[in-house]
Amino acid sequence: MEDYSFDLSRMFLGDMPFLFYTEIALRTTILYTYTLAIVRFLGKRSAGELTVLDVVIIVALGSAVGDPMFYPDIPILQGLLVITLVVGLQRVALYWANRNGDFDRLLKGRPALVVQDGVFNLDGLYHVGISQREIFQMARQFGYRNLGQIQRMYIETDDKPSIYGFKPDQVRPGLQFEPPWELNNRNTIEAGSFAKERTIIACINCGQPVEFDKGSRISPCPRCQGTTWSSVD
């Protein structure tokens, strides 16, 4: 049996005649030009506003466009047909989504509430699969320093955050996230220890602030039963 291991000629040139590279160039030009023309039929979308529906069409078009470009056994016409069908189905889906709210939510999902009244909405965090550090990073980009400044924070269907802060006279104590955990050694307090002074601390898991009197035993978080606390701002 012939050994093809690390055959540079096979790796870079393959077994096809050199003229096939000219065919690849022609195939690529035709498919690229057609795809560029038909995708305009979908309308303008920002790259930063991609929804799950947009990701699906990107994956589908990637295969439909790429395979006929260099596989000699796939006719160009088949590729053009698949591209047309994918774009057409996407257009139909968008049409019905704009006219039916339930169908729109089925395709695109719903915004997820991740912070509510200065504490984490743990169900919302679980739903979107985003960590607390990612929430902190997003909030810092909007100029927030702690959870107590945030009334509502949503992760939209395009994975961008929408943040609604409390009015200045309504800001409450909240879990600090500035400076970032990565740059600052956060002083944590474990449940079971005793408060050295009258203080308000926040649960690291859910952000719930609780006040403890001097000398009192630090209990688990009454909201999520977390056992690690941190200072508030």
pLDDT given for residue 19 in this prediction: 85
Q: Are 227 and 203 in contact (CB under 8 A)?
A: no
Report, at the CATH architecture level, how domain 112-231 is classified. Answer: 2-Layer Sandwich (3.30)
Helical segments of 13-51, H only: 20-39
pLDDT given for residue 49 in this prediction: 56
In the chain, which stretches have pLDDT less than 50? Answer: 1, 46-48
Residue-wise pLDDT for 128-140, tens only, equals: 888 888 999 999 9
Q: Where are the domains of the chain?
A: 14-105, 112-231
Say what the pTM is: 0.70
3-state secondary structure (DSSP) of residue 102? helix
pLDDT given for residue 58 in this prediction: 81
The sheet carrying 150-155 orders its strands as 119-120, 112-116, 150-155, 161-165
pLDDT given for residue 188 in this prediction: 85
Of 24, 100, 35, residue with least CA distance to 65:
35
